[in-house]
Structure 1
Amino acid sequence: MKPVSELLKNRNSTVHQVSPSVSVFEALQLLADYGVGALTVMENGKLVGVVSERDYTRKVALQGKNSKETKVADIMTRDVITVTPSTEANACMVLMSQKKIRHLPVLDGTKVVGLISIRDLMDDIIAEQQQTISQLTNYISS
């Protein structure tokens, strides 16, 4: 498999972010607007957490909290597991599986340069398999 930097080249490089001081409701609106499952939580240019749909369901909805009154800081995942652009995609898959997470921020030093999801990794695996099938089919046909 390829390094994360290759996966990032094939998609929009925008890293959607939110401040820890905004309401969970505002963060949910951003998730819906961007069509993503997680946002990086940034404060003073530094990654301080990740907030996801899973955080919302487990820490707000199931606990009967109000999403307009609860702040992102109250529900975000603080101990963020990150990777670098040179991390191999298969290492990301292992990490996601072991830690039971679906999103990995990609850091180049302290700068967030991307957010890889399990979907990104699965899409890459499917594309590689389709390419292999095509090559094998061409080999057999010739």
Structure 2
Amino acid sequence: MVDAQNEVKNTKPVYRNIGLAQLIHYRLPWAGKVSILHRISGAVLFLMLPFILYLLDQSLASELSYQKFQAITNHILVKIICLGLIWCFLHHFCAGIRYLLLDLEIGVEKSESNRSAIVVFVLGVALTAAVGLKLFGLY
């Protein structure tokens, strides 16, 4: 009787906390990386909402404010911030579509989920690069 109870106890999975030193060596699957980036991009978009609304206000208020808007956005630092916000939006959008498909139980298998996570990451970076070329006047 005691042996049967010990066998049951031994078959239970053991969950261990990961220490900070172990995080460097921990390899997250692509789905986990995309999930974390989805959360980060959503938080950044939310926190930068006042800046985005300010730029929208400056671009729509009047002709003079539009010229001020152009002067603000011609600065290289503002362009880099805008490019980061563009990546946040595009990644959040593409990952959101992926999660909607997962909610519909499309692509929930491990290999399909991994493939869709890679597609979301590459698509977000590629779309950001295309918009970035236009933003910096290279295309």
TM-score interval (norm. to shorter): under 0.3
TM-score (norm 2): 0.25
Larger Rg over CA atoms: 2
Which protein has the bigger strand share?
Answer: 1
